[in-house]
Structure 1
């Protein structure tokens, strides 16, 4: 924490550095400094690597209001946007998540259909087969084993590869480059090279779909290119975004959720013993609320002056909204630091809120429902093969999780 002084709301206060580090003793919880900032109020200042001091929004209601406010911009190129790490030389070519409407809406509409709830539900039997086959392989393989490598990564990688039309045989390539992009410790040049490699790879696949389209999302984008509605570089960037988001977040949620349940055996017993799909769905929502996969939250910048929590955020000032602390707001979720799979946690902001909320959330929910309803039932004696304090957490990444999860049964 820095010792710099600032006048926030008229009172001198220390401005903490951001991002903030989780406590090794409480890896599922928000960083202690986030709790401390919330005690100061739902809107405080933080200091970034470049010395800028954007606003930190910690309140659940305040985050949802800001994320839904058209006066708040997601345009990462707009002056004042709070970049939480140095940009690579020449900046970054962004996909639609870093744009505002109407351009954001135009591009997003091109890829919404495959993620519609009915389309995703039609995929459930196929995802169930993937999960069952991987559990078969897990049980036939070495014991103990690493659940991340043997199960948590392959499940979403196989699913998103099928959805996009990406050869799963290339999974080692896209997983390694994804890892470089989301690690905080990667140099800007490393992230740029990894992003360029993935974009070039997706561009090549789009080119193949232009010549020989199939029944997949990339082929749909190729049709848009042929119709003059989309450029090939735009399609490649959209494909890269969905490939990274489609496997990294869900893979980490599978492993981290499993660890959280193993550390809360009463909740694991409830989930393992149920055949009620409503309780399974409730468990998924509660784990999404309780855990935090996106480390830094969501960054925005004010287009014009607006009021938040009784204070004025000026045009051009940045906003940082870590969903993990909002999801632990006691005004929204009583006893928020307790994992309770029976609570109604559907209002959480794990997927964001407003027009930019996560496009793939129906797919992520369905995959997690299949995994959480199957893994612990089929392997009822699943347990950690190491002590909990030996689990290597991803404290150095933009996406939280574990590098390995050694388990036995």
Structure 2
């Protein structure tokens, strides 16, 4: 009995590959189904965490009249064009509201090698809880702080200069005035890593040559630092910004402030909590389809393994009877059949996890080229434990009936049956 017990894993492995084509097909079906589940887990978790990270501190986005979803995508995730500009005086109006704790303006419209240049105030660093890893923040117009990924891909360090281009896509007309890099942000893993932050006046000055605003003398501004210097921008009533990022002072603002904003001429409120729920629901349709596809493949794989094991029990009745004569108990015979299924599940789990991470990495590479959401194939989620657990459950379920058939084999009857 001991010898038979010791040889069970080797015997199960040989039985598994006795029919290589059938085993390969079952392995493929099971691996693809598990990989689809793993891919959904990896992508959905990274998307949700990314959304939560990028929205930290932002309760409301105020922009020009248009789609609230477009305002959110453009102002927070920087994946779309803004709906237009709003008067700079809107910032002062929002800051005067007792329900507003912080209102940070941003101006969009320029880029550098596909990375967006965002005109704002130093309060943006506080709102997003950003820290500077190298150099310092900007203190005058035409100075810029780079996101970690921008600095890495462009090879820029504090003291270097670059020319922004008009428009949010690469290949636009280059601006005459160059930006000076004053600092590089610490990596966040979020959208800020792909941004270039500068002063609001930088955007106005860069656009002045293109007729988008009057050129102003910044000599007085260069001697000012901190929030007081940026308040000077708001004295120009003809100035415009793209959007305003707002942080609430109290929960009551979530009810009253969006309604107040929407009642103002030309203004549109975008509530991130509502819009991200809509966004995830739209993305969820594709996730559900992929999850359903994986479920169908897993069901097909389980049925295929079940049929294969049933055929194997029928074909190997003589071998199983010989094992019984050598001292193997009925439980060990049943265990041999279950072990064959478990080995297939283990192989499928390894292949599925590798394939899921490879597909996630490929999707992340495509999105990175489009300056979109960051997704990494090196991400490991605790929910990936569902993959081996699911494989184990399917293996045991598929092997249950064949193992029971093997357990109930009558050795005496088999030996008396002419072959």
Larger radius of gyration: 2
TM norm. shorter chain > 0.5: no
TM-score (normalised: structure 1): 0.23
Higher-helix-fraction structure = 2
Higher-strand-fraction structure = 2
Q: Which has the higher contact order (CA 8 A, sep 6+)?
A: 2
TM-score (normalised: structure 2): 0.22
